[in-house]
Amino acid sequence: MDYETIINCFIGCFEHYKTEDTKVFVVHKSKNQIKELLNFLNQNASNNEWHISYNGLAFDSQITQYLLHNQEVLYEEENGESIANWIYEYAQYIIEKKNESGFGDFSEKELSIRQIDVFKLNHWDNPAKASSLKWIEFTSKWHNILDMPLHHAAWIESEQIDTIVDYCLNDVKATKWILHQSKDQIDLRKTLTNEYGINLFSASEPKMSKELFLYFLSKKTGISKSDLKKQRTFREKIVVKDILLDYIKFETKEFQDLYQAFKEVEIDPLQTKDAFKYTLNYKGVKTVFGLGGLHGAIEKGIYRSNEQMVIMTSDVTSFYPNLAIQNQWAPAHLPKAEFCEQYQWFFDERRKLSKKDPKNYVYKIILNSTYGLSNDKDCFLYDPEFTMKITMNGQLSLCMLYEMLTQGIPHCFPIMQNTDGLETMIPIKYIDKYLEICAEWEKITKLQLEHDQYKEMIIADVNNYIAVLKDKEVSKEDYEKVMKEYPHYKFTENEGKYFYNATKCKGRFEFFNLALHKNHSSLVIPKAIYNYFIKDQNPDEYINNNRNIFDFCIGAKIRGSDWVFKDNDGVPQQKVLRLLVSKKGNKYYKFNVIDKRIINVIAGENKQTLLNKIDINQSFDDYDIDKLYYLGKVEEEITKIIPTYKQQQLSLF
């Protein structure tokens, strides 16, 4: 469902979640369907039906409840324009109140009609994942990315109503699509809601973790949930030397200097941005440390296992949760024994369950989210020292393994380090020695490592790389899934199996199973790069053979009111654009209404075609794609890794 509130017009659109049965209600001077809408809403409430929306808890549900609270008056009012304006004024009040306090008039418990908000469920209200419905329409390859064609303060005439209805229905259908993509998540939340009596239908993963941990901890401690919710530990200062583990020790000067730098840090929990940064140069690898974790990588290039050398990859199992569990850490305001026992219970129970069991997933997110929630002032787990104990000791513990391996294995050299693991090239004859050192580290730290081997790593930098696992088996189901999702690849059976389970693509090279909040622009580029490095296919051949128009599309979005999109003729555009670099077309740019700055959406002189609405029946060749643009971007990326790539290509002709 979705509402459109305009100064003299109100529209409500609904579509059944299983069928195409559609309801449209218009409140305007030319048509007043407020009674029909109220009858429908009352029917929803009495039948215990649900409203499914995008950001509906903050907006649409508030309007619904306001209408129901005032229905006696509304049933008597005949003036559609007056009602529409009354609803509009309330909608503006809701928006303003939400911006100021973060809360609406009606809590979820007070709503007459139960809600599923796919915006909140997917955590797209989080700043790191912030996504409008229009952006999700782009990333989901929705055929019509349509912005509201008229301003909410514009005076609407009767002939404009159909245009608004079309827009509203488009959003309803897109929301319905998101609902069906979220089916497994909703089924899980339904099970948990029924089992624990907590409404989790619109809960994000962190919210779900918080509510379930609160439920279990309340039962374990006998402290009421309402009392636990009030508790926090606020700190003026965190002295890192006072929270470091006794077992952390180093032999080499480089790591001893690192350890000393950590010991000198004092953290203001309210000013953590850029509060600590340290760079370690060790055996040709630059590793950067901060308050949250470490990351480092060898020089860009291609690194391959061979008959003499092998790339080992080792990750710490549930690293951050396990650090807290093994060292009996707890937020200072919570009963330590009960917290640690409960946290350990989640870890132990998860290990007993199959990965296919939904509770395995639930316990996983509880374990992982607790660390993040301990640094959230709005959560009962808040104690920033608990957070810093985990992150600071985690980095140093991993560096102990880093040093032990590089010092203990001849001709060993590091390739990459990140928050919870590392990759190292070692002589094959020392694999047993490698595992012995890892086992020694596990004994010291009481943590567990998971090991694998990479066939090769194609590295641009620490955040952008392709890693191929060695000798990886996959299931028939996984193979069939990738064949279905990537039919234009024309994989052989073995290649398809190999790709799905054995290849890890990160950063700019990521394209498979991308989360919807991420940028899905120009996916033809990472796909061509993958095919070049893994399948030895020339990029121009891959690009010419790829006939998926969405792989060539580029998304652009703006936030706030300071910027607008315009085309070369100065015509304003909507806030989310889907563009295609083409041989003919227009130029699109961002214009700052305050300081008049202009920024091209796509740098250079390349022209673009606006494709906010795509006709799936249109011939691919009619799009007139400038394939040289995409090929150039692919070659830029490859050249960063192989500086001689262009010379090699030129030598072919």
User: How sure is the predictor about 487, in pLDDT bands with cuts at 50, 70 and 90?
Assistant: very low
pLDDT-derived band at 651 (thresholds 50, 70, 90) equals very low
Look at residue 554 and tell me whether its pLDDT is greater than 70.
yes
Query: What is the number of domains present in the chain?
Result: 3
Of 142, 176, 196, the last residue of a domain is 196
**Contact predicate 609/588, CB 8 Å:** no
Judge whether residue 485 has pLDDT over 70: no
Query: Beta strands of 158-222 (E only): which ranges?
Result: none
Q: Would 222 be classed as within a structural domain? A: no
β-pairing, 464-469 with 449-461? antiparallel
In this prediction, residue 649 has a pLDDT band, given cuts at 50, 70 and 90, of low
pLDDT number for residue 24: 98
Q: Does the pLDDT at position 484 exceed 70?
A: no
Do 451 and 528 lie in a common domain? no
**Mean confidence (pLDDT) of the chain:** 92
161 and 270 inside one domain = no
Q: Is residue 145 part of a domain?
A: yes
* SS3 readout for 422-435: EEEEEEHHHHHHHH
**What CATH number has the domain bearing residue 29?**
3.30.420
Q: What pTM, to 2 d.p., does this model score?
A: 0.91
Residues 318, 462 within the same domain: yes
Residue 627 domain flag? yes
* Average pLDDT of span 379-398: 97
Assign 648 a pLDDT band (cuts: 50, 70, 90).
low
Judged against a pLDDT cut of 70, whether residue 626 lies above it is answered with: yes
- pLDDT at residue number 498: 46
Q: What is the pLDDT of residue 358?
A: 86
* 101-118: average pLDDT: 94
Q: What is the mean pLDDT of residues 307-327?
A: 95
Same domain, 70 and 164: yes
- Structural domain containing residue 525: 519-650
pLDDT at 189: 96
Q: Which two tokens stand for residue 611?
A: 């494709």
560 against 328, higher pLDDT: 328
Q: Flag the least confident range among 260-264, 538-542, 601-605.
A: 601-605
CA distance 205 to 493: 36
CATH code for the domain in which residue 299 is found: 3.90.1600.10
Q: Give the mean model confidence (pLDDT) for residues 192-199.
A: 95
Q: What is the pLDDT of residues 34-59, one digit of tens each?
A: 999 999 999 999 999 999 999 999 99
Q: Residue 495: pLDDT band by 50, 70, 90 thresholds?
A: very low
d(CA 259, CA 280): 11
17-35 pLDDT tens trace:
999 999 999 999 999 999 9
124 lies in the same domain as 259: no
pLDDT at 644: 85
pLDDT of residue 491: 45
Q: What is the DSSP string of 145-169?
A: ----SS-TTSPPPGGGHHHHHHHHH
List pLDDT tens digits, range 265-276.
Answer: 999 999 988 899
Output the CA torsion sign for 72, 76, 82, 83. positive
